[in-house]
Structure 1
């Protein structure tokens, strides 16, 4: 696997002009932080997570090979993580949205092992890893929450392996759409409508499908009345029929 040359350190450390932020006043606090923190514990978290960074669309938050300094809680926007395959193409390994944390890949050897690219103008809160680690040892709920975040990423990776290893194209796309809607619903968005911030090519890379297969499967779902598609706007019309594709009966 190829390793890209690190980009300048401005992408890994908070800039002098970074925006001040207070977790205690953030609407996404319940997604990023554990429930039930006392006012004193929240104040201590606020003292550690003090900066916010804006990332322009198509700009890297960090690159493969860069020194690991911090985790990043996404406040607004969507990111993709990807690695460079042997043939030089980007292989998408995940999509992350508001309330989720990116940068966990860097913990294992103090360097990032993938790229994180903004798919739209985005904003992240910087979680300095050393200071977060120290605080989590003193605030048990925070340490437990970090462990849950890491476990969730492991479960998600296992889910992707299942997608790539056993599912047909229509099953992969159905699972992808249902997962996106579920995650957006947890953030207060519609249960049936979404705007795809990623391209068909990026979806195909993530699902292990060719662009033509992704486009053909979207068209098939639309023809069968499962979804409505208008460019990147998708409306799910028959959620139960989509779910049925993932059951033994639907896969028969």
Structure 2
């Protein structure tokens, strides 16, 4: 059975962030992910993980900003990564160093580096060259700590202007960089919206050894994965089969918005899909 991680930026929205760790553990999750940890001291987050027996499996490097205090203002101001942006190389490096410091304390094995929005008037070829150079540097820094760097294609409906949108583009970039610890973060929600043919792509890329993490959500509303146009039980079977054949042992992040929103207990009630899968 896939290992599912609760995305605490999306799930349990009725609770203060630090209380979501306990809620996830109570619902049987063993791993957690979220967008950014930088609003809290790493020791505070580490204590929560230890208290509730959880593993930190993923978070994002800063989408912008030079230090922890600058991360939220950059995100709220519309920054969606600096990896492909000309003139932001030093800001990107400062963000990666900050992320790796947090990852080391949280014992998190992977960090996602967001590509960023393609600046108006900048040729994709130029942005790609900057992106590849930055990723090569980030992978070299992360490997010193035994960590992976991930890149994720994101659909243009949810994030207009985002540089990286397609699975084949991400795969080609991973190959071009050539670092064993640079891998894809394959979000099946984004994949379905942009490209479709999710089962074939999942089989192809998961077997390649270049996928470090999966994420799921229902399409199109981004609610629980038992609602919408994707047949997740079928996809979970593929994940199990490929994992058995290739020894893939990554996590599947539950990055969806509960259909009940912030109603008390709404996330837990919406986990009926997971309870059914665990009992099957």
Q: Which structure shows the bigger proportion of residues in strand conformation?
A: 1
Length-normalised TM-score, structure 1: 0.28
Higher Cα radius of gyration: 1
Length-normalised TM-score, structure 2: 0.26
